[in-house]
Amino acid sequence: MIVDEKETAVIFKAFCDENRIRILKLLTTGEKCACKLLDELNITQPTLSHHMKILCDSGIVIGRKEGKWMHYSISEKGIIKAKKYLTAFIKTDK
């Protein structure tokens, strides 16, 4: 697999923050409204927006607008891509 350094950095930036890991853990049980994420996390709305932008830009999370709120879920395609990039670093010949 050809590893695109810029895309790899964007994807793995999503995993490099405790709050984003908490968000991903919350999303493992299904789609969540931003209001629910705010209730679960001890962060402000602008901070949540910052983290969600990074997660969505990476393709790991997808968002959809419903009324005034965004609803977020984990992207299976994004997770598969991240997994492929990670496994590309495993040396297979020993």
Task: Judge if pTM exceeds 0.95.
Answer: no
Measured from the Cβ of residue 37, the count of other Cβ atoms closer than 10 Å reads 22
Quick one: which of 13, 3, 18 has its CA closest to 58?
13
60-78 confidence digits (pLDDT tens): 999 999 999 999 999 999 9
Domain interval for residue 60? 5-87
Measured N-to-C along each axis, helices 76-87 and 5-13 cross at an angle, to the nearest 10 degrees, of 120
pLDDT value of residue 88: 87
Assign residue 20 the CATH number of its domain: 1.10.10.10
Q: Is 5 helix (H, G, I), strand (E, B) or coil?
A: helix
- Is 73 among the domain residues? yes
- Is 92 among the domain residues? no
pLDDT value of residue 92: 62
pLDDT over threshold 60, residue 16? yes
d(CA 89, CA 9): 13
Number of separate domains in the chain: 1
Mean pLDDT across 25-51? 96
